[in-house]
Amino acid sequence: MTTPTLKGTIQVPGDKSISHRAIIFGSIAEGQTTVSNFLRSNDCLATLQAFRQMGVHIKEDGNSLTIDGVGMLGLQESQEPLDMQNSGTSTRLMAGLLAGQHFDSHMVGDASLSKRPMGRVITPLSEMNGTLVATDGHLPMDIYGEVLHGIHYRLPIASAQVKSAIILAALTAQSDTTIEEPLPSRDHSETMLKLFSPESIDKEDGLITIHPDHPLKAQHVEVPADISSAAFFLVAGAIVPGSEITIERVGLNPTRDGIIRVLEQMGADLTIDRIDQPGEPMANLTIKAGPLKTFHIEEADIPALVDEVPILALLATAVDGVSTISGAAELRVKESDRLAAIASELGKLGASIEEKPDGLIITGGKPLTVQDEQVDSFGDHRIAMTLKVASLLLDKEITIKDEDCMAVSYPTFSTDLNTLIRK
């Protein structure tokens, strides 16, 4: 097999985090919200279906949505369980919103989601007078609608999902809520709430305060391309020799752009062409393959690149020397145990990776060679896409188990990657 090069311009699909939030805020706003470049992936469609079950009329036209908002207390009890499928974001954000409704809800999920911890949202929501009954801290979960009160909560972990659950619950509470974060996590909920209801939120000295009782007003939301999806092309472009790829209109929110900072520190040939417009920041990114230096990623860096760790580990295998990732224990409770999955599956491709309780030590520089042709995604979309990029560098074909799970965040990943391949 000869190594291909990657050349061309690509538009990756809309941001997953922002797409979920556009449905949620659009549904509880008053009036008709429109969304463009919505991500039609399994995770976001789980959120969309759940709001339809709760009586929200949502029209789909390609990647555009029209949502007829029902107002903060206009949702209705779903007659069927809310199936969150593989989506932690849908589950945790909606748990927050549903805790303060006037009806009860029952949430279920797939095997992977049913292993993920829900105590992290149940604890603060219970402090607000919520009643959420999970199964040993996991889905299935019953959420009994209660009258909530505000709290002051310091998050024990940097988690945008937990923060957003509290923000959404706080909107239905009877008094103000303040939230403190140990490290800044993605702030799409705060940005979108500010757009839909500027009076509902204040941010000062690292404290987020939510003032309930202000209606949300319908808006237009343009979803930028997902930097977490662009990440696979940024790394592929950086390490597949001779490559040059441009990725258009990528969201560059400073709470999400950790991978850009890592690539810059590594000396990557990356051009950032910023697009001047209101709303979430965006840029066209061009990456060219070239020499790279090792990286050292620490706990404080993790929130801004939490979903990029698998593909960054692959990047490190291509660079001479030792790269390290620490303070990343959260990776163990994602769609799979990502630290274990990366170490074992890239190990099957000849990578030298030592697994630590909270990170990875990667000794890179020697070409990958297939030791075992069967690699496993563990049903985790980001592991599957990392292995797909790795396959470009290999001397033999590999089979990725459960490759279809890419549809969780990027249904057309393989076809998009193929459009760039020049043999």
- Binding site, annotated residues for phosphoenolpyruvate: 16, 88, 116, 161, 338, 382
Options 154-162, 244-252, 341-349, 386-394: segment touching ligand S3P (CB under 6 A): 154-162
Give the range of 55-63, 160-168, 280-288, 312-320 binding ligand S3P by CB under 6 A: 160-168
C-alpha pair distances (Å), 358 with each of 113, 331, 386: 21, 8, 20
Number of residues in contact with ligand S3P, rule: CB under 6 A?
11
Contacting residue, 307, 308, 376, 403, with ligand S3P by CB under 6 A: 307
Report yes or no: 69 and 218 within 8 Å, Cβ to Cβ.
Answer: yes
Residue nearest to ligand S3P (CB): 17
Q: Which residues contact 193 (CB under 8 A, 6 or more apart)?
A: 25, 167, 171, 200, 201, 210, 216
Does position 27 bind ligand S3P by CB under 6 A?
A: no
Under rule CB under 6 A, residue 85 binds ligand S3P:
no
For β-strands 57-61 and 64-70, DSSP reports them as: antiparallel
Q: Give CA–CA dist 272/353, Å, rounded.
A: 31
Look up tokens 């050292």; give the residue.
296
> Which of these ranges, 147-155, 157-165, 263-271, 342-350, lies near ligand S3P under the rule CB under 6 A?
157-165
Q: Which of 49, 85, 87, 159: binder of ligand S3P (CB under 6 A)?
A: 159
Q: Rounded to an integer, what distance in angstroms lies between the CA atom of residue 157 and that of residue 332? A: 14
> Residue 155 is encoded by which pair of tokens?
């998050």
Could you say which of 47, 161, 177, 386 contacts ligand S3P (CB under 6 A)?
A: 161
Q: Does 17 bind ligand S3P (CB under 6 A)?
A: yes
Q: Which of 41, 47, 89, 101 binds ligand S3P (CB under 6 A)?
A: 89
Measured from the CB of residue 309, what is the shortest distance to ligand S3P in angstroms? 10
Q: Which helix (H) or strand (E) holds 264?
A: helix 258-265
User: Could you say which of 19, 164, 243, 286 contacts ligand S3P (CB under 6 A)?
Assistant: 164
Pair 218, 32: CB distance under 8 Å: yes
* 78 lies in the site for ligand S3P, by CB under 6 A: no
> Interface with ligand S3P includes 172 (CB under 6 A)?
no
336 touching ligand S3P, by CB under 6 A: no
Catalytic residues: 307
Residue of the chain from 167, 201, 221, 306 that contacts ligand S3P (CB under 6 A): 306
Region 178-207 residues binding ligand S3P, contact defined as CB under 6 A: 185-186
**Alpha-carbon gap, residue 150 to 127, rounded angstroms:** 9
Q: Closer CB to ligand S3P, residue 149 or residue 332?
A: 332
The answer to whether 42 contacts ligand S3P (rule: CB under 6 A) is no
- Asked if 94 touches ligand S3P (CB under 6 A), the answer is no
Residues annotated within the binding site for 3-phosphoshikimate are 16-17, 21, 159, 161, 307, 334
Distance from C-alpha of 95 to C-alpha of 91, rounded to nearest angstrom:
6
- What is the contact mask toward ligand S3P in residues 111 to 150, using x (rule: CB under 6 A)? ----------------------------------------
Spell out the residues 6+ positions from residue 408 whose beta carbon is closer than 8 angstroms to its own: 41, 42, 43, 86, 87, 335, 381
**Candidate list 160, 216, 263, 297; residue touching ligand S3P; CB under 6 A:** 160
Q: Is 90 in the site for ligand S3P (CB under 6 A)?
A: no
CB of 2 to ligand S3P, least distance (A): 35
Three-state DSSP state, 206? coil
Question: Helices (H) and strands (E) in the chain — how many of each?
Answer: 12, 23
Residues 6 or more apart whose CB falls under 8 angstroms from that of 114 comprise 108, 135, 138, 139, 140
Q: Which residues does the annotation place in the binding site?
A: 16-17, 21, 88, 116, 159, 161, 307, 334, 338, 382
**Backbone conformation region of residue 129, classed left if phi is above 0, alpha if psi is from -120 to 50, else beta:** left
Contacts of 208 (CB under 8 A, 6+ apart): 163, 167, 178, 179, 180, 181, 190, 201, 202
Residue 253 is a binding residue for ligand S3P (CB under 6 A): no
Amino acid sitting at position 308: E
Q: In the complex, which residues of this chain contact ligand S3P (CB under 6 A)?
A: 17, 89, 159-161, 164, 185-186, 306-307, 330
